[in-house]
Amino acid sequence: MLIIRRTGLVLMSILATMTLALPAALHSAQPRLEPVAETVIASPAKPVGYAARVTSEPDPSRYVGLIEAGDATSLRDDVSWASVEPTQGRFAWSGPDEIVTEAAEHHLHALLAIDTTPLWASGGSTPDPSVYWLPPRNPADYGVFAAAVAARYAAGGTFWKEHPGLPVYLLAGVELWNEENLKLFWGDETPSPEAYAAMVTAAYGRIKQVDPSMTVVLGGLAPGGAYDDVTCSGHTGTGHDAAAWNGVNYLQALYADGIHGHFDAIAWHPYNFWKGATAAQMLTYNPCSAWSQMASTPVSARSLMVAHGDAAKSIWITEAGAPTCVTGATYTCVSQTEQADLATAETSLWRTYSWAGGFYWYDIRDDNLGAQYAASHFGAVASDDSPKPAYRALQQAWTTAPRQESLLTLTVPESQGVRSVAFSPDNTFVAAGDGNGRVYVWQLSTRGLANVLTDPGSKGVRSVTFNQASSLLAAGDANGHVYIWQGNELLAILAVPSRQAVTSVAFSPDGTFLAAGDEKGNVYVWQMSTRDLISSLTDPRSKGVSEVAFNPADSLLAAGDANGNTYLWSHGPARSLADPSSDGVRSVAFSSDNKYLVAGDSNGKAYVWLVSSHGIAQSLTDPAGEGIDSVAFNPSDTLLATADSHGHIYLWASGSKPREALNDPSSSGVRSVAFSPDGQYLAAADANGHVYLWPVAT
């Protein structure tokens, strides 16, 4: 039960008249969409783990077990195109299959870096290792292979069908190449942002055709001097030479070559270490520091992303770390303690960045490449499997980090923003309506898109809701229509008499009625059994209805409006209740026990009203001071969720401070929140076309 202090009483009145009859609910006439039987585990939005080389190890299960035991959620490894498709059209998947198998058996999500090029695609004439890093002559060939990777390992992909006994741990994403700004990873040729941009453009569209929800990450950019000074000489230059590009200059060139709209996140490799340095010194601002270049330098990766409309996208660190010293070491290295301090400092800083995505330490275990090679000593675990202090430091960081990650990330393709989200009554589906006039329906068990319902002629869907007594789905649009679907069949189109945009729709709990509010302050109610309009409830003073909601007993209908009022309709004369501080109520919701009605307003207040006495039980203040766009009670009334216009979601249990804060990973405004009917998950829809789902502990 939500415990709320009573702080005062404000007179609440009751408005208009409406008799709510209780005929039988409208029953389903069409077959339901059936869920896939297997259990599918989606990746966190911000996976953490280690870079790995599973297929190169003599003991892959033990090797990956070290990653799992370190409380990671993911591993990063390569899918070598050159190895998988040495002959065009003939695929040998054993290598990546082993990676994904080991990851799944150890409860990890694989981030697959798709790199190297077969000779038939690159035109290379020798099997020299550097030749395999040549880019393809035809970028479309890379796109075809990237799509094949997605088709094999995405939800429902051929790999999972061939391994029915394996737990389905979906990919954390795919990363397109590795350190493409270095000659070393570009076939010993001068890196070319133009050629790489063409590869990414070819791959992104094909991957999204296979799996729109797959996270596509640009290849991790390596350190390379300072912006416009690739050698860090202190003199302004071009930012690149024959051997390397500075990462920021390279990203700037990618944008100039049309990369915008063809990736979901950027990857960065912010190595910055030297012998004897403390972690604080390694992370101190410096124009030549790859860490500083993410967001702190005058021209940074983040400043470019913001300037090109990608502020909502994240940066992933897909490699970070430092090699530890051994006796007689001549390479640049740090002590094991300094390595651990760096791991602690980087992960601590990382969790403070609103734009931070996944984080991968390079790497899990020391390699046996030779004692005097720096590359042999980056591991958090020694070659004999004894943990270095960094292993424990990362484990501690990953187990104590605040929970900011979502269980699922569902992306609406080419969206103008998701306006509303709702769960089906049986927890099988989640639906979201977007600004392009479509309703997307996902199957929760697979994260797969089950249906796309198109609002005929719509300018945008403003609100979606499921009938809790049947399988009907309703959507209100900007053209003044309410569409009702059964599965993928459009059953009815209801027009509001005002012909104004429908801002909210709600079914009564027993499925008998459907209510719709419009932007001119009208509320309309239809009888579902006949689809007849039975009530038109108009407030002549209202500027527009923001949301409508029925109480659990079907005896009250609430509506919040842009004037700061919340209206209740029942049997009797018309009355209203006024928000004490607001010039606009944006969201309303009843508790399931019918004791409370909460209204969130444009001034960052959520007022919790006592339904029985018409008084305010408590006022809650958005900690960020932003307007509250959506409110929702969980089914047991032990939690109240509020979401604001800057992407913050707060969970309230008792008192005047939230129990927990969740941030929208894209840092955009949250338009709608909803709890699943079993109370296990909270869904949030945002202005950038995403639906995030968090597991919720009550």
Torsion of CA 511, 513, 519, 520, to 10 degrees: -170
Confidence at residue 694, expressed as pLDDT on a 0 to 100 scale: 81
Residue 632 pLDDT > 80: yes
Residue 21 pLDDT > 50: no
Q: Are 496 and 480 within 8 A, CB to CB?
A: yes
pLDDT digits (tens, 9 = 90+) for 291-346: 999 999 999 999 999 999 998 899 999 999 999 999 988 999 999 999 999 999 99
Among 139-143, 271-275, 346-350, 433-437, top mean pLDDT goes to 139-143
pLDDT digits (tens, 9 = 90+) for 39-57: 578 888 899 999 999 999 9
Between helix 247-256 and helix 193-210 the angle, nearest 10°, is: 70
The DSSP secondary structure of 90-131, one letter per residue, reads: B---HHHHHHHHHHHHTT-EEEEEEE---HHHH---S--GGG
Residue 674 pLDDT > 90: yes
pLDDT class for 668, splitting at 50, 70, 90? Answer: low
Higher per-residue confidence, 164 vs 317: 317
Confidence at residue 576, expressed as pLDDT on a 0 to 100 scale: 57
Angle, vertex CA 654, rays to CA 648 and CA 655, nearest 5: 90
Average pLDDT, integer, range 366-388: 92
In sequence order, what are the residues at sequence separation of 6 or more whose Cβ sits closer than 8 angstroms to the Cβ of residue 244? Answer: 181, 182, 183, 191, 222, 224, 225, 230
In sequence order, what are the residues at sequence separation of 6 or more whose Cβ sits closer than 8 angstroms to the Cβ of residue 95? Answer: 55, 79, 80, 83, 84
Q: Are 503 and 463 within 8 A, CB to CB?
A: yes
Q: Are 606 and 589 within 8 A, CB to CB?
A: no
pLDDT class for 4, splitting at 50, 70, 90? Answer: very low
Through-space distance between the first and last CA atoms of the chain, rounded to whole angstroms: 10
Rg (CA), the chain: 28
pLDDT class for 19, splitting at 50, 70, 90? Answer: very low
pLDDT digits (tens, 9 = 90+) for 113-148: 999 999 999 988 777 777 899 999 999 999 999 999
In sequence order, what are the residues at sequence separation of 6 or more whose Cβ sits closer than 8 angstroms to the Cβ of residue 576? Answer: 13, 15, 539, 565, 566, 567
Confidence at residue 455, expressed as pLDDT on a 0 to 100 scale: 67
Residue 282 pLDDT > 60: yes
Confidence at residue 22, expressed as pLDDT on a 0 to 100 scale: 28
The distance between the two most distant Cα atoms of the chain, rounded to a whole number of Å, is 89
Among 5-14, 377-386, 578-587, 645-654, top mean pLDDT goes to 377-386
Confidence at residue 583, expressed as pLDDT on a 0 to 100 scale: 65
Mean pLDDT (the chain) is 85
Return the structure tokens found at 435. 């600004």
Residues belonging to the chain: 698
Average pLDDT, integer, range 617-624: 84
Cβ neighbours, 10 Å, residue 298: 8
The DSSP element (H or E) to which 661 belongs, if any, is strand 660-663
Handedness of CA 176, 178, 183, 186 (dihedral sign): negative
Phi and psi angles of residue 675, each rounded to the nearest 5 degrees, phi first: -90, 145
Average pLDDT, integer, range 625-654: 86
DSSP state of 27: P
> CA-CA distances (angstroms) from residue 136 to 133, 187, 188, 484, 649?
9, 10, 14, 49, 45
Percent of the chain surpassing pLDDT 70: 87
Confidence at residue 41, expressed as pLDDT on a 0 to 100 scale: 83
Q: Are 117 and 142 within 8 A, CB to CB?
A: yes
Confidence at residue 544, expressed as pLDDT on a 0 to 100 scale: 83
The strand pairing partners of 545, in sequence order, are 561
Residue 35 pLDDT > 70: no
pLDDT class for 27, splitting at 50, 70, 90? Answer: very low
Return the structure tokens found at 271. 């190595």
pLDDT class for 647, splitting at 50, 70, 90? Answer: confident
Confidence at residue 584, expressed as pLDDT on a 0 to 100 scale: 82
Q: Are 346 and 339 within 8 A, CB to CB?
A: no
The DSSP secondary structure of 468-507, one letter per residue, reads: TTSSEEEEEETTSEEEEEETTEEEEEEE-TT-PPEEEEEE
Average pLDDT, integer, range 479-501: 91
| Domains of the chain with CATH codes | 221-401 (no CATH), 408-695 (2.130.10.10)
> CA-CA distances (angstroms) from residue 288 to 142, 250, 297?
33, 15, 9
Burial of residue 407 (number of CB atoms within 10 Å: 0-12, 13-18, 19+): buried
State how far the Cα of 482 lies from the Cα of 494, in Å rounded to an integer: 5
Burial of residue 257 (number of CB atoms within 10 Å: 0-12, 13-18, 19+): middle
Percent of the chain surpassing pLDDT 90: 55
Angle, vertex CA 365, rays to CA 71 and CA 150, nearest 5: 65
Edge-to-edge strand list for the sheet holding 448-454: 418-423, 429-434, 438-443, 448-454
Among 93-107, 460-474, 561-575, top mean pLDDT goes to 93-107
> CA-CA distances (angstroms) from residue 695 to 213, 664, 678, 681?
19, 14, 11, 5
Q: Which residue reads 């990237």 in tokens?
A: 146
Confidence at residue 671, expressed as pLDDT on a 0 to 100 scale: 87
pTM over 0.85: no
Q: Are strands 660-663 and 173-178 parallel, antiparallel or unpaired?
A: unpaired
Confidence at residue 126, expressed as pLDDT on a 0 to 100 scale: 74
Cα–Cα nearest to 115, from 46, 215, 4, 199: 199
Lowest mean pLDDT among 95-99, 181-185, 355-359, 680-684: 680-684
Confidence at residue 458, expressed as pLDDT on a 0 to 100 scale: 64
Cβ neighbours, 10 Å, residue 389: 18
pLDDT class for 33, splitting at 50, 70, 90? Answer: very low
Burial of residue 489 (number of CB atoms within 10 Å: 0-12, 13-18, 19+): exposed
Residue 287 pLDDT > 90: yes
Confidence at residue 656, expressed as pLDDT on a 0 to 100 scale: 66
